[in-house]
């Protein structure tokens, strides 16, 4: 599902992984939540070159009347985003990569929300497929925002939740970012469960449940509560 992420890699490592040159100064983030600004990689329409941007996590469609009555859209299902009115324009021409060192997922265990850390075994950063949009206010100010695309869970995530973020293979970055590619079926073919053998998951500290906690303690292993067999959407 992916209601939170973390991004702790050095900027230099991210620049190499995502093929960008211009880097924003930013500290490690251990508990990135919807409503906050997140790092994204987009292709500039004039230069055709990749660059980093900060986008608000929670997409507001360009056609929304205002931001008060429109609920920001945190996630979009890969299977239907290309056809849903809120996402279809962005799916065809405003796609981005959302760099992550890993993400959190929650499993309900009785009255407890048990967080899990999911990351690559080799500890390398990866790219979550995202969509972005630009909303213009009546006063001329603009809000650029984004949503995470999700797909079915692989064997590592399935015991925790039945959905996971759509993590892109590095070989697919160029195709996903290319604004000239508009074939929905072709693009959906890039959004598939990430190979389970490349990922690992472990029960994390419940400190991550609090959005205001953003420090290394979020990644500390925690005591795993027994599952009750029910997966519930918490975001």
Residues present in the chain in total:
235
Q: Which of 13, 17, 96, 105 is catalytic?
A: 105
Q: Is 105 noted as a catalytic residue in this protein?
A: yes
Residue labelled with tokens 């920001």? 72
Q: Which of 2, 96, 146, 218 is catalytic?
A: 2
Catalytic residues: 2, 105
């Amino acid at each position: 599902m992916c209601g939170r992420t973390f991004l702790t890699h050095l900027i230099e490592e991210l620049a190499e992984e995502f093929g960008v040159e211009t880097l924003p100064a930013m500290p490690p983030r251990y508990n990135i939540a919807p409503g906050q600004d997140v790092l994204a990689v987009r292709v500039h329409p004039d230069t055709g070159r990749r660059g980093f941007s900060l986008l608000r996590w929670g997409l507001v469609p360009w056609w929304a009347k205002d931001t008060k009555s429109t609920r920001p859209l945190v996630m979009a299902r890969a299977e239907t985003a290309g056809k849903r009115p809120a996402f279809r324009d962005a799916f065809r021409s405003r796609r981005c990569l959302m760099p992550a060192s890993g993400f959190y997922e929650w499993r309900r265990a009785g009255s407890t929300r048990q967080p899990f850390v999911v990351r690559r075994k080799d500890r390398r950063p990866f790219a979550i497929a995202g969509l972005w949009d630009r909303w213009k206010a009546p006063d001329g100010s603009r809000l650029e925002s984004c949503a995470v695309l999700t797909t079915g869970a692989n064997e590592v995530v399935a015991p925790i939740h039945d959905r996971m973020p759509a993590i892109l293979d590095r070989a697919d970055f160029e195709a996903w970012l290319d604004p000239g590619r508009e074939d929905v079926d072709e693009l959906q073919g890039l959004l598939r469960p990430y190979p389970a053998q490349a990922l690992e998951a472990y029960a994390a500290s419940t400190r991550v449940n609090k959005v205001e906690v953003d420090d290394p303690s979020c990644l500390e292993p925690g005591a795993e509560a027994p599952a009750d067999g029910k997966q519930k959407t918490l975001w």
